[in-house]
Chains A and B, each alone.
Chain A
Amino acid sequence: MTRRGAGLALLACGIAGLPFLASSAYLLTVFNIIGLSTIVTLGLILLGSSGQVSLGQAAFYGLGAYGSALLSRDLGWSPWATIAIATAATAGVAYLVGVPTLRLAEHFFVLATLGFGIIVNVLMVQLVDVTGGASGLRDIPGLRIAGVSLAADRAFYYLVWGLALAALLLAQNITSHRTGRALRAILGSEVGAAALGVEVSRYKMQVFVASAAYAALAGGLYAHYIRFISPSPFSLYASLFFLIMAVVGGLTNIWGGLFGAALITILDQVIRAQVPRVFPRVGGEYQTAIYGILLVLIMIFFPSGIVRGALDLGRLLRPVGPEPAKGGSA
């Protein structure tokens, strides 16, 4: 408990100090994107702790972004209020999506979320009168506190990371109490959980709605940070991206969410910058191939995520371990 608290305090200090070490606008933008991705990924990891996987998180991310952007831009409401409203409304949408789909077996649920994500993305493109279609929405109001703009990268950095840390703390609390035990029991065996009185469908719904709210919150922040949104960052590809972050971090490991989001965002930047230099004539599909390979390698060698995998590896390599190495760390 105290060790966990110390870890969180250390992380908070590191995050607070980072802009003083790396203060270029480019790096701050990357950090901000990592912060937003962390929030989405934490939602996926909460969902994963009950054994569920979603390929529709980008749609929730997008609903938060579009909802908040439209309400604040066209009705003139405060972006703070519209982020909250869009988050709550997206949670409501997730509830409606969950009613028919959560009773499906795992892999069918994944397909249902995938289908939902595609539908939402198509609507963003096609409902031109509302969403601006493929050319998107411009002139989204920025966030302000007491008249001071948070549009600058550094100010936004503290906002998004403050919220990311809060999201991390909440997720950690959820997983370390009765709710988290129930979720892990569901992951272990739905029958076993039900036999002990765990209302399996209710818990699956709660955590699905929470994961959507996490994504929508990040989406709302994104819209008022970039101040321009279009359908492309909310496509299936983005959902896959978030899922890779969660899997890299370890689908049930809260700290892994932060790690996965950071690693994959940085990797994305490196790939974007370096691949054209090495292979001058290739297009963006090579990036997709690289992520595909990465995902396969991780699933083979680190099925519980890089963080857990590295810890296990460290334990195996240590000459005098407290316990003998056990076969199969799946």
Chain B
Amino acid sequence: MTAPLLEVVDLTKRFGGVSAVDGVSFAAAPQEITTVIGPNGAGKTTLFNLITGFVPPTSGDVIYRGQRITGMPAPQVAGAGIIRTFQNLIIFNETTVVENVMVGCHRWTRTGFIQAALALPAAVREDRTVRETAMAALALVGLEGRAHDRARDLPFGQQRLLEVARALVARPSLLLLDEPTAGLSAQEAQHLVALIRRLRAEGVTFVVIEHNMDVVMDAADRVIVLEYGEKIAEGPPQAVQRDPRVIAAYLGEEVPGP
């Protein structure tokens, strides 16, 4: 078995007396699609915040490419190739759609303050590459026609796709998507799943929080189920779907004995 790209070891986050994430461990192998499911408030987004350095864990470790990155500041985590999207969308509202995506290229571009101020040839060249990359990504999610509109004027579903395009141009090794199909039409969701598969083939590893079970069944290699911050099940989608604890978690019932 290949070494995992991401390992989460006994990760715990307590807010006051509440454990938002409680001793969660899992590993994601390269090019694997892991989905995280669970009822609202199960700690899925907190798990993402812990992995990406937005919230420091109370205990436990995050290991990426064999290196401990626990507690590393968010920009450095992103710099290392772990890119995320947000459940509630974070769009740079006042700028254009294409500029939003261009910011995604920040990680692998190099123009600094002085080079920019002097508009050195390298800065101008880099800018052209960035713009082309952004336009190509917009075409990939079907937004090329809206490139020059103001981002805030896009409907919710298109903003969701914009965020995905922005994450793609960052050329991530590990992409964490927080409910990427929420607000998308069935057709758009299907399109997105196809895109995720294609990127996986190109070498990207995914961890996806998802509520849409069709998408989960369709796309996931492995499913992790959280409830009250704890991992209650893990396995291939079909197996997890039949797991009585999972059924109980979703239906809120006692698990009947076997």
Known: A188-B94, A189-B92, A192-B90. A206 touches B113 (CB 8 A): yes
B86-140 at interface with A (beta carbon < 8 Å): 86, 90-95, 99, 102-107, 109, 111-113, 115-119, 123-124, 126-127, 130
Q: Are B83 and A195 in contact (CB under 8 A)?
A: yes
A167-188 at interface with B (beta carbon < 8 Å): 170-171, 173-174, 176-182, 184-185, 187-188
**Could you give, for residues 67-91 of chain B, a 1 whenever the CB lies within 8 Å of some chain A CB and a 0 otherwise?**
0000001111011000110100011
Chain A: interface residue total (CB-CB under 8 A) = 29
B153 at the interface (CB under 8 A from A): yes
Known: A196-B107, A198-B106. A178 touches B78 (CB 8 A): no
Q: Are B117 and A196 in contact (CB under 8 A)?
A: no
**Chain B CB within 10 A, most for which of A173, A188, A195, A326:** A195
B228 at the interface (CB under 8 A from A): no
Known: A184-B95, A197-B75, A197-B78. A178 touches B86 (CB 8 A): no
A170 to B120 alpha-carbon distance, docked (Å): 11
| Chain A residues, CB < 8 A from B54 | 191, 194-195
A171 to B130 alpha-carbon distance, docked (Å): 20
Q: Are B127 and A196 in contact (CB under 8 A)?
A: no
Known: A177-B123, A184-B95, A189-B92. A195 touches B111 (CB 8 A): no
B231 at the interface (CB under 8 A from A): no
Known: A184-B99, A196-B170. A173 touches B117 (CB 8 A): yes
* Chain A interface mostly: helix
Q: Are B119 and A177 in contact (CB under 8 A)?
A: yes
Q: Are B84 and A181 in contact (CB under 8 A)?
A: no
A170 to B123 alpha-carbon distance, docked (Å): 13
Q: Are A195 and B113 in contact (CB under 8 A)?
A: no
Cβ-closest chain A residue relative to B53: A194
A174 to B112 alpha-carbon distance, docked (Å): 9
A275 to B255 alpha-carbon distance, docked (Å): 83
Q: Are A188 and B117 in contact (CB under 8 A)?
A: no
| Chain B residues, CB < 8 A from A326 | 153
Q: Are B95 and A173 in contact (CB under 8 A)?
A: no
B52 at the interface (CB under 8 A from A): yes
B44 at the interface (CB under 8 A from A): no
Cβ-closest chain B residue relative to A173: B119
How far is the CB of B123 from the nearest CB of chain A, in Å? 5
| Chain B residues, CB < 8 A from A170 | 117-118
B166 at the interface (CB under 8 A from A): yes
Known: A173-B116, A195-B83. A178 touches B75 (CB 8 A): no
Known: A179-B112, A188-B94, A200-B75. A193 touches B117 (CB 8 A): no
A124 at the interface (CB under 8 A from B): no
Chain B: interface residue total (CB-CB under 8 A) = 41
Q: Are A196 and B83 in contact (CB under 8 A)?
A: yes
Known: A173-B119, A180-B116, A206-B113. A195 touches B92 (CB 8 A): no
Known: A177-B111, A178-B123, A188-B95. A196 touches B103 (CB 8 A): yes
Q: Which of B111, B113, B166 contacts A196 (CB 8 A)?
A: B166
| Chain B residues, CB < 8 A from A197 | 75-76, 78-79, 83, 106-107, 170
| Chain A residues, CB < 8 A from B117 | 170-171, 173-174, 179
| Chain A residues, CB < 8 A from B78 | 194-197
Q: Are B127 and A178 in contact (CB under 8 A)?
A: yes
Known: A178-B127, A179-B116, A191-B54. A196 touches B104 (CB 8 A): yes
Q: Are B99 and A181 in contact (CB under 8 A)?
A: yes
A196 to B90 alpha-carbon distance, docked (Å): 11
Cβ-closest chain A residue relative to B110: A178
Cβ-closest chain A residue relative to B127: A177
A106 at the interface (CB under 8 A from B): no
How far is the CB of A83 from the nearest CB of chain B, in Å? 19
Cβ-closest chain B residue relative to A210: B113
A139 at the interface (CB under 8 A from B): no
Q: Are B90 and A178 in contact (CB under 8 A)?
A: no
Q: Are B75 and A199 in contact (CB under 8 A)?
A: yes
| Chain B residues, CB < 8 A from A179 | 111-113, 116-117
Cβ-closest chain B residue relative to A188: B92
Cβ-closest chain B residue relative to A252: B94
**Could you give, for residues 15-32 of chain B, a 1 whenever the CB lies within 8 Å of some chain A CB and a 0 otherwise?**
000000000000000000
Q: Are B106 and A182 in contact (CB under 8 A)?
A: yes
Interface residues, chain A, with chain B CB atoms under 8 Å away: 170-171, 173-174, 176-182, 184-185, 187-189, 191-200, 206, 210, 326
6 A-B pairs besides A192-B92, A199-B75 with CB distance below 8 A are: A184-B95, A185-B92, A188-B91, A188-B94, A199-B76, A200-B75
- A-B pairs, top 6 by smallest CB distance, nearest first, are A188-B92, A192-B90, A197-B78, A177-B116, A197-B107, A178-B111
**Between-chain CB contacts (< 8 Å), 11 pairs:** A173-B118, A173-B123, A179-B116, A181-B102, A184-B95, A194-B54, A194-B74, A195-B54, A196-B78, A197-B83, A206-B113
